[in-house]
Amino acid sequence: MSDFSSLADGITLRPAKPSDEPFLQGLYQSSRRDLQWIDGETELIDTVVANQYQVQQAGMGNQYPNAMHLIVEKTSSAIGAVTVDFGHNEVRLIYLALIPAARGRGYSKVVLQGVQRAAQQVASPVAVVVWRNNLQARRLYMELGFRVEEAQPVADRLVWYPSVAFS
């Protein structure tokens, strides 16, 4: 499999390090706007967000112990994170988030296309679960050739197959 650490538009991926933890916590908080709606003091909201972050980290570690946890960088500055698991039957995109200033600039598309190229090289589909209310992400996945494979009330499992035209 070729290296997918250097992508288009100056986007690079590198392994996450323990020193990235404060960045990752802040990134998670910025991507969970729904938790900001909690009716309570700032301290309570911060505690809930921190707890949810820990639950997410533990869940990913338990379900996908071999997943790659990567930092997305633009010109050597951290702008996001992606977690990918190259499993036996599929490549699972577990988490993708960008800082607010980097959203809407096409960087997620660049990262996803890199994952697709890596999956294509091993002839493996890419699967992701997308919340139904995350319309922007859903549009991007559909634009990149993902299709709904399993519909659920809250989230759908989308899959991209290498046999689908890749551009």
Q: 12-56, pLDDT tens digit by residue?
A: 999 999 999 999 888 877 775 665 556 667 776 666 666 665 666
5 in a domain, yes or no?
Answer: no
119 in a domain, yes or no?
Answer: yes
Cα pseudo-dihedral 131, 137, 60, 17, rounded to 10? -150
Residue 71's SS3 state is: strand
- 112 with 136: CB under 8 angstroms? no
Query: Strands 126-131 and 147-151, how do they pair?
Result: unpaired
Interval 64-108: pLDDT, tens: 788 999 999 998 899 999 999 999 899 999 999 999 999 999 999
The answer on pLDDT for 9 being more than 90 is: no
Question: What is the average pLDDT across 153-162?
Answer: 95
Dihedral-angle region of residue 44 (phi above 0 means left; psi in -120 to 50 means alpha; beta otherwise) = alpha
104 in a domain, yes or no?
Answer: yes
24 in a domain, yes or no?
Answer: yes
This prediction has a pTM of 0.81
166 in a domain, yes or no?
Answer: no
CA distance linking residue 153 with residue 8, whole number of Å = 35
Q: Which two tokens stand for residue 95?
A: 């988490």
CATH, residue 76? 3.40.630.30
Number of structural domains (the chain) is 1
61 in a domain, yes or no?
Answer: yes
Lowest mean pLDDT, pick from 17-31, 89-103, 110-124, 136-150: 17-31
Q: Which two tokens stand for residue 58?
A: 């533990």
- 21 with 28: CB under 8 angstroms? no
Q: Which domain holds residue 14?
A: 10-160
CA distance linking residue 167 with residue 160, whole number of Å = 13
Q: Which two tokens stand for residue 27?
A: 């990134």
- 70 with 14: CB under 8 angstroms? yes
